[in-house]
Chains A and B, each alone.
Chain A
Amino acid sequence: MNNKFFITLCMLILFFLLSCTQCLYADDVIFIMHKQVKDPIKPSIIKKIYLGKVSRWNDNQRVRFYTFDSDDTTETFTKKYLSKSKRQFNKYWKRQVFTGKGNIPKSIKSVEEAIKIVSKTKGAIVYLPEQKIDNETIRIVSITN
Chain B
Amino acid sequence: MNLNNFFTGTGSLILLLMITTPVLSNSLEIHGFVSQGYLQTDRDNYMVKTEEGSFKFNEIGFNVSNDISDDLRLGIQFLSRSLGDQCENATTIDWAFADYRYHDLLGFRFGRIKIPLGLYNEIRDIDMLRTSIFLPSSIYSEPWRDTMSSLDGIGLYGYLSLNGMGGVSYQALVGQMETPEDGGVARYIERIGTNDVIHMEPSKSYNASLLWDLPIEGLSLGSSYLSNKMKVTSLFGDHFTFGDLRLLTDMNAQLPEMLNEVIYNKTQNQNMASMMSSDFINWLIPQNYQNLDNEWPKEVISDFHTLDFWVLSLKYQWGDFILSAEQLDMRMDFDYKLGDINLRASPQPWHSLGYYVSGSYTFKDWLEFGVYYSEFYDTDNDKHAESYVKKRELDTYKYPTAVLYAVSSEEIRQNFKTYANKVFAASGKTIKLSDDDVAAIKLISDYELNRIKYNEYVGWFKELVVSTSAHINEQWTLKLEGHFIDGISLMDWTVNNGDIPRKRFLFASKVTFSF
Binding site for B on A (CB under 8 A): 13, 16-17, 19-20, 48, 53-56, 62, 83-88, 90-91, 94-95, 97-101, 103-104
One of B281-289, B342-350, B360-368, B418-426 contacting the partner: B360-368
**Which of B77, B95, B104, B367 has a CB less than 8 Å from the CB of A56?**
B104
The smallest beta-carbon distance between A92 and chain B, in angstroms, is 9
20 A-B residue pairs with Cβ-Cβ distance under 8 Å, sorted by A, are A13-B369, A16-B367, A19-B363, A53-B159, A54-B159, A55-B101, A62-B70, A83-B217, A88-B362, A91-B129, A94-B129, A95-B122, A98-B77, A98-B125, A99-B95, A99-B114, A99-B123, A100-B96, A100-B113, A103-B29
Provide the residues of chain B in CB contact with A53, threshold 8 Å: 104, 159, 161, 167, 169
Beyond known contacts A87-B365, A99-B122: 5 more, CB 8 A cutoff: A53-B161, A83-B218, A85-B362, A97-B63, A98-B77
What string of 1s and 0s marks CB contacts (under 8 Å) between B180-207 and chain A? 0000000000000000000000000000
Binding site for A on B (CB under 8 A): 27, 29, 31, 33, 61, 63, 65, 67, 70, 75-77, 95-97, 99, 101, 103-104, 113-114, 122-123, 125-126, 128-129, 159, 161, 167, 169, 217-218, 317, 320, 362-365, 367, 369, 471, 474, 514
In the complex, the answer to whether B364 meets A20 with C-beta atoms within 8 Å is yes
Provide the residues of chain A in CB contact with B63, threshold 8 Å: 97-98, 100
Provide the residues of chain B in CB contact with A54, threshold 8 Å: 104, 159, 161
Complex CA–CA separation, A66 to B103 (angstroms)? 21
Complex CA–CA separation, A2 to B209 (angstroms)? 44
Complex CA–CA separation, A17 to B474 (angstroms)? 22
CB closest residue in chain B, given A97: B31
Provide the residues of chain A in CB contact with B514, threshold 8 Å: 94
The smallest beta-carbon distance between A57 and chain B, in angstroms, is 11
In the complex, the answer to whether B27 meets A103 with C-beta atoms within 8 Å is yes
Interface of B is mostly: strand
Closest 3 A/B residue pairs (Cβ) = A100-B75, A16-B363, A62-B70
Q: Known: A20-B363, A83-B218. Is A98-B104 also a contact (CB below 8 A)?
A: no
CB closest residue in chain B, given A17: B363
In the complex, the answer to whether A100 meets B167 with C-beta atoms within 8 Å is no
Provide the residues of chain B in CB contact with A94, threshold 8 Å: 126, 128-129, 514
Complex CA–CA separation, A103 to B61 (angstroms)? 16
Complex CA–CA separation, A103 to B68 (angstroms)? 13
Q: Known: A85-B320, A103-B27. Is A98-B33 also a contact (CB below 8 A)?
A: yes
Complex CA–CA separation, A96 to B25 (angstroms)? 20
Complex CA–CA separation, A19 to B364 (angstroms)? 8
Provide the residues of chain B in CB contact with A85, threshold 8 Å: 320, 362, 365
The smallest beta-carbon distance between A104 and chain B, in angstroms, is 8
Provide the residues of chain B in CB contact with A48, threshold 8 Å: 159, 161, 167
The smallest beta-carbon distance between B106 and chain A, in angstroms, is 12
**Which of A55, A83, A84, A87 has a CB less than 8 Å from the CB of B471?**
A87
